[in-house]
Structures are given as structure tokens and as C-alpha cells.
Amino acid sequence: MTRASSRHGRSDVLSRAARRARWEVARRLRPKPAPAPWPAERLQRELRPGRLAREEQTVTATLYGRLSDEDIAATEQAIREHPGAWEHYFAGAERATDRGLLLALGVWVEAPELLARTGLTRAEPPEDVHAMTRGAQNAAGGLYEANMVIDALLSAGGEITGVSSALDFGCSSGRVLKPLAAAFPDVSWHGCDPNGAAVDWASAHLPGIRFFRSGAVPPLELADGSLDMAYAISIWSHFEPRRGLEWFEEMRRLLRPGGHLVITTHGLSSIAHYAATGQRSTEQSAEIATALYERGWWYAAEFGASGDWGVVDPNWVNAFLSPEWLLTQLCPRWRVLLYAPGRNQENQDLYVLQRV
């Protein structure tokens, strides 16, 4: 084959990949039909005792389950007495049916019964300290992410009762650790992040958790095999791929054999999410999808000279990874127990990995 024909063939391959990428983005952006109602007999099958027992281990259910009827009534009354809170969040309903929202607002208005029973605290970082969320609806911390971590562990066959030591890798100011530590106080919880101000604030305001500052590269100041579980929410979505592999090796050092790692990454679902929200153009979305199909990753340094909240690292980027590339790099040193595309906010993919 001549050089000219070779280039032409390569061009055809790229063209097909680009068309396939655009089709994939368009397919994922098409509105999905509403699901049909479940028959009563199927609901009974799905809500079997084992499933209910698993759901009762989630963070929200665990914390809410500590409240008596009198505690709930007193918390609801405290919210009603806060100007406009009940009408705004519960639209005049007689009772609060959203357990997570009740927990958050109860913490926000500092209902004494709720704080005493759950171990939660109103502490919220000031504006100059990094926090992903703030305000009344998030006063109990990152309940969504905490529930997601525990649900992922249970879905993969793990048990929170078997976890004695766990790490939030990339914890910022501790919003996910806050409800986790309250729900499962017998676990030795650790949190690390390169943002020194966030870690310092968390250390001062969230007792019972060991926080420490992490560097841009391994290792962490933890002993070999000292963890039963680690999780990282939207952290490998920011590592340059080679740096991300270095940190996978570090997680493997820290976890005991059989230990679990829960992570989220940008993937094809994220391409559709950002295209739908207008955060990335159709052209760039197709470029990212083509890169995932062809080599398995795409990244760009998009934080600028000031970095991400003052953390400047050329290998801290916006990154997308295909599951095929990720699993090729990790196996057989890791076992993949769960892969859930778009599980995190219908955006990032979720993986549960087990250290071999």
C-alpha cells in the first residue's frame, strides 16, 4: 500500500469513528419514554425482605431510623417555625415525606432532637473554603454521594459491617464524610485532599475523622493494607491518565486483599450530559467520543494558571475514560465487581473494584 492510500484509509477510519461518535451522542440525547408503571405483583417481588434490609443500610435510612416519632414531630415543628422553610420545601404538606430533606433541614434549623440522635452538625465551610455544595438542602452533608457509595458497596456484594477503616480520597472539606461518619461511627474514617485550607477546616469542625493533606503524587501517609474500603467521587475524572494509573497502584497498596475501591469517572454518559447542558459543544463532544473509541481516553488542561481552588498541577485536568481502556489497564490486579454507566447524577460512570 502506498503512503497516499494509507493516509486515505486512515482518513476513512477516522471519518467512520467520528460518525459513530456523533450518532452515539445524538442517541443518548434523545428523550427517553416514561417507564410503564410496575404491576403490583412485580413491586412485591422487588421489595422482598433482602432488598429492604439492604436499603436500610443506606446513610439516609440509617440516620432517619434513629429518630422516634416524637423526634420527627419536633423536627418538623422546628422547620415550621423557621420563616418560610416549610412552605418553600414541603409546599404546605402536612408531613415531610422526603427523609433526606427532613434530615438536611433539621440540621439547618438545628433541631436539637435530630442533632442529638444522628450525630450530625450544622458546620458549613465559609465562602473562601472549597465546598461542592452549600445551603439548607445540603446541611446534612453529601447524602446523595454517601448513599451512592454504600449502595455501590452493597450492590457489589460487600457489607458496610465488614469495614473497619475507610478513606475518602479527594475529600475536600468533608461533605461526604460528614454523614458517613455519623451513620457508621464504628468505622475509622480518613479523608485526604491536596487543598490544604479545606482539609484544615474539616479537621477543626468535623471531629472523629482523620483528615490530612495529600500530595500531587503518591504515596499517602497510610500503611500498606490499612484500609478495607476507599472511595473517590469525581477524582479520576480529573487525573491525566498516566497519573491516574499511578494512583490506582497507590490505592492497591493501601487496601487489604479483597478490599473495595468505589470511583466515578467521565465516560460516554458524561459526553451526552455535557452536550445536553450546553457545557460542551457538539463538535467537542464528537471529538471526545472519537478519542474514547480510538484510544480510550481524552483529557484537556482547563483549569488555567490559578488551578482548581489554588491547587495547581499540570496533571489535574478534565479527563474522560472508556471502560474498555480502564479495565484493560487494571485487570487482573483488580477485579471489577460493578460498572454502572451514568450512575453519578446521570453523568459519571461508577465502578466498584476489588483489590486482588
pLDDT band at residue 92 under the 50/70/90 scheme: confident
Cβ atoms of 263 and 326 closer than 8 Å: no
Mean pLDDT across the chain, nearest whole number?
89
pLDDT band at residue 52 under the 50/70/90 scheme: very low
Instruction: Please compute the mean of the pLDDT values over residues 141-150 and round it to a whole number.
Output: 98
237 vs 53, higher pLDDT: 237
**How many angstroms separate the CA atoms of 332 and 245, rounded?**
14
Give CB contacts under 8 A, 24+ apart, made by 82-87. 82/108, 82/109, 85/109, 85/136
CATH number given to 129-355: 3.40.50.150
Per-residue pLDDT tens for 236-270?
999 999 999 999 999 999 999 999 999 999 999 99
pLDDT at 150: 97
Say if residue 348's pLDDT is above 90.
yes
What sign does the CA torsion over 321, 323, 325, 330 have? positive
Per-residue pLDDT tens for 18-42?
555 556 555 555 544 444 443 434 3
For residue 83, how many other CB atoms are within 10 A of its CB?
A: 8
pLDDT band at residue 311 under the 50/70/90 scheme: confident
Domain boundaries, the chain: 50-122, 129-355
pLDDT band at residue 275 under the 50/70/90 scheme: very high
35 vs 56, higher pLDDT: 56
